[in-house]
Chains A and B, each alone.
Chain A
Amino acid sequence: MKILEVQDLHSGYGEVRILWGVTLALQEAHLTALVGSNGSGKTTLLRTIMGQVRPEQGVVKFMGADVSAMPPYSKAAQGLILVPEGRQLFTDMSVAENLEMGATPARARSHLARNLERVYELFPRLKERRSQKAGTLSGGEQQMLAVARGVMAEPRVLMIDELSLGLSPALTLTLFKTLTRLKETGMTILLVEQNVQMALAISDYAYVLAQGRIDLEGPSRELIQNGQVRAAYLA
């Protein structure tokens, strides 16, 4: 089943159009990767799906319903969750409070204790630092917290913008493994990633975005073999 569908999406900022008709779909319980060079429109696409940027044209469908005009907080309440670029933590609040805020959607709030246990198990480091202010964490810990805060919402779809940006290879590997575990629990994940090789290695399906359009798409294991992708991203 397609849980999230984007059809012919055009969007941008004021006079500057970034997306020129993007169409993509996420299969439920799949891990889909979205790759593309800097400035290709990946972040704008996520922001438009979420409703932080209003689409100029096109439709965003979530669980079959048109949600194009819905504000971000309503989408989050329904289980469409974005872990944004730059983490956007509540830096003046504690780690535990950040996670509690992650559990704002009503469906997640009743399972707060259980989910807290789950993310502390995924990220034991966060448990150690739970009463520390989020702003005092290291970059890697902050990224863990950003993902953990997203997981606290019991997302139906979890979209992650630049998971590995600025992280050590070891930590990147840990986070990728965590995503695989989350997928196994039935979560649908859209991963935006600069590390194309790793993104293709763990995802089921992938889209390549270039200059605001989907340039290429297909099952990830086919894209890895694709000469065009290899030349552009994996050389």
Chain B
Amino acid sequence: MQLFAFLIDGLLIGFVYGIAAMGMTLIWGVMNVINLAHGPIIALGCFGVYLLATQLGLHPYLALLIVAPLGLVAGMLFYRLAIQRVIDAPRLSSLLATFAINMIVIGLGTAAFSTNPRALDVQLGSLSFGPVTILGTRLVAALASIATAAGLYWFLYHTRPGKYVRAVTNNRAAAELVGIPSQQVLALSFGLGCMLAAVSGALIATFFPFTILSGDVYQQKSFVIGVMGGLGHPLGALLGGLILGMMEGLLPAFLPTTWVPVFEFVLFVIILLVRPAGLFGGKK
């Protein structure tokens, strides 16, 4: 029964990991860019909620609604400033461009906030089902993640800009030929990916302490999850997030917690060797 409780806990956090990974995999799918700035943007999502809550007294969940569009705008700005000029260059260039954003955000963030851990005190109580206790914050985070994923799918499949994102993902040259301004769509897509990162960071801040450096851990998880789900496959990322979340929930019952990343990355290597397109299909 104790195991079941760990499993549920892991699953709930897995949804949040899934959202972060969806952002990374969306960007990869649309423009073949591995976003090494993903982690710092997750951290900025944490700090965004933290600052709005502590400085302006907003409720963290209300702050989340402000952080999400800020993430979108920041992502579009990053694209215009750093990525657009190297989007057609060899892939290493965009990797370095996003790495530069990573270093700049972490450098500025460290100067502004130091690396002392911060934490928000969000009390939502808990639900108990027999021996299983679910923390309110984690349940809300999971529900918010599901809503975000559903919103993304609705956007991609039922709105014109969303369909443009899919068209550019599918065939950028053809998109230009039908009149879609592909650079604007790429900027929007990068913005969406960063928005998902910021939302996941904002949710993480409601139950884990964080520093400006915390994002890198979630970035690595996003990468593992993205590959597991099939890069460029947002729903696969969500499912991959659940798998990783379950592992994190269950493994500490048998092993010291420090072993968890070892297993995660061993899994990562195995998937790359055995099913490089991911468990749920996706772009090769």
Contact residues of A with B, CB < 8 Å?
50, 52, 71-73, 76-77, 81-82, 84, 88-93, 97, 100-102, 104-105, 149, 153
Asked whether, in the complex, the Cβ of B171 is within 8 Å of the Cβ of A73, the reply is no
Q: How far apart are B93's CB and chain A's nearest CB, in angstroms?
A: 19
Asked whether, in the complex, the Cβ of B163 is within 8 Å of the Cβ of A82, the reply is no
**Those of B163-185 within 8 Å (CB) of chain A:** 163-164, 166-167, 169-171, 173-182
- Taken together as a complex, chains A and B put the C-alpha atoms of A89 and B174 apart, in Å, by 7
Query: Residue of B at shortest CB range from A108?
Result: B179
- Taken together as a complex, chains A and B put the C-alpha atoms of A93 and B181 apart, in Å, by 18
- Taken together as a complex, chains A and B put the C-alpha atoms of A76 and B169 apart, in Å, by 19
| Central interface residue in B164, B169, B176, B179, by most chain A CB within 10 Å | B179
Asked whether, in the complex, the Cβ of B176 is within 8 Å of the Cβ of A72, the reply is yes
Name the A residues within 8 Å of B163 (CB-CB).
93, 97, 100-101
- Taken together as a complex, chains A and B put the C-alpha atoms of A93 and B165 apart, in Å, by 11
Known contacts A93-B166, A93-B167, A97-B163; is-contact A88 B174 (Cβ 8 Å): yes
| Central interface residue in A88, A105, A153, by most chain B CB within 10 Å | A88
Chain B contact residues (Cβ within 8 angstroms of A): what range?
A: 10 to 19
Q: How far apart are B220's CB and chain A's nearest CB, in angstroms?
A: 29
Asked whether, in the complex, the Cβ of B178 is within 8 Å of the Cβ of A104, the reply is yes
Asked whether, in the complex, the Cβ of B174 is within 8 Å of the Cβ of A76, the reply is no
Asked whether, in the complex, the Cβ of A101 is within 8 Å of the Cβ of B173, the reply is no
* Known interface pairs A50-B177, A93-B167; 15 further A-B residue pairs with C-beta atoms within 8 A, sorted by A's residue number: A71-B181, A72-B176, A72-B177, A73-B176, A77-B179, A90-B166, A90-B174, A97-B163, A100-B160, A100-B163, A101-B164, A101-B167, A102-B178, A104-B164, A149-B178
Name the A residues within 8 Å of B160 (CB-CB).
100
Task: In the A-B complex, list the 6 residue pairs whose CB atoms are closest, starting with the nearest.
Answer: A76-B179, A88-B174, A104-B179, A72-B176, A90-B170, A105-B179
Q: Is the interface of B mostly helix, strand, loop or mixed?
A: helix
Q: How far apart are A144's CB and chain B's nearest CB, in angstroms?
A: 16
Name the B residues within 8 Å of A84 (CB-CB).
173-174, 177
Neighbour of A81 across the interface among B171, B177, B182, CB < 8 A: B177
Neighbour of A88 across the interface among B169, B173, B180, B181, CB < 8 A: B173
Q: Quick one: CB contact mask for B39-81 with A, threshold 8 Å, 1 for yes?
A: 0000000000000000000000000000000000000000000
Asked whether, in the complex, the Cβ of B177 is within 8 Å of the Cβ of A93, the reply is no
- Contact sample, A vs B, 22 pairs, CB 8 Å cutoff: A50-B177, A52-B173, A71-B181, A72-B176, A73-B175, A76-B179, A81-B177, A88-B174, A89-B171, A89-B174, A90-B167, A90-B174, A92-B166, A92-B170, A93-B167, A101-B164, A101-B175, A101-B178, A102-B178, A104-B178, A149-B178, A153-B179
Name the A residues within 8 Å of B167 (CB-CB).
90, 93, 101
Q: How far apart are B133's CB and chain A's nearest CB, in angstroms?
A: 43
Q: How far apart are A225's CB and chain B's nearest CB, in angstroms?
A: 36
- Taken together as a complex, chains A and B put the C-alpha atoms of A104 and B177 apart, in Å, by 10
Neighbour of A71 across the interface among B169, B170, B171, B176, CB < 8 A: B176
Name the A residues within 8 Å of B171 (CB-CB).
88-91
Asked whether, in the complex, the Cβ of B170 is within 8 Å of the Cβ of A76, the reply is no
- Taken together as a complex, chains A and B put the C-alpha atoms of A52 and B88 apart, in Å, by 14
Q: How far apart are A49's CB and chain B's nearest CB, in angstroms?
A: 12
Q: How far apart are A210's CB and chain B's nearest CB, in angstroms?
A: 27
Q: How far apart are B235's CB and chain A's nearest CB, in angstroms?
A: 14
Name the B residues within 8 Å of A52 (CB-CB).
173, 176-177
- Taken together as a complex, chains A and B put the C-alpha atoms of A96 and B166 apart, in Å, by 14
Name the A residues within 8 Å of B170 (CB-CB).
90-93
Q: How far apart are A74's CB and chain B's nearest CB, in angstroms?
A: 8
Asked whether, in the complex, the Cβ of A101 is within 8 Å of the Cβ of B180, the reply is yes
Name the B residues within 8 Å of A102 (CB-CB).
178
- Taken together as a complex, chains A and B put the C-alpha atoms of A52 and B169 apart, in Å, by 18
**Those of B142-160 within 8 Å (CB) of chain A:** 160
- Taken together as a complex, chains A and B put the C-alpha atoms of A226 and B45 apart, in Å, by 72
Known contacts A90-B166, A101-B163; is-contact A73 B181 (Cβ 8 Å): yes
Name the B residues within 8 Å of A97 (CB-CB).
163, 166
Asked whether, in the complex, the Cβ of B179 is within 8 Å of the Cβ of A88, the reply is no
- Taken together as a complex, chains A and B put the C-alpha atoms of A16 and B183 apart, in Å, by 28
Name the B residues within 8 Å of A100 (CB-CB).
160, 163
Q: How far apart are B251's CB and chain A's nearest CB, in angstroms?
A: 36
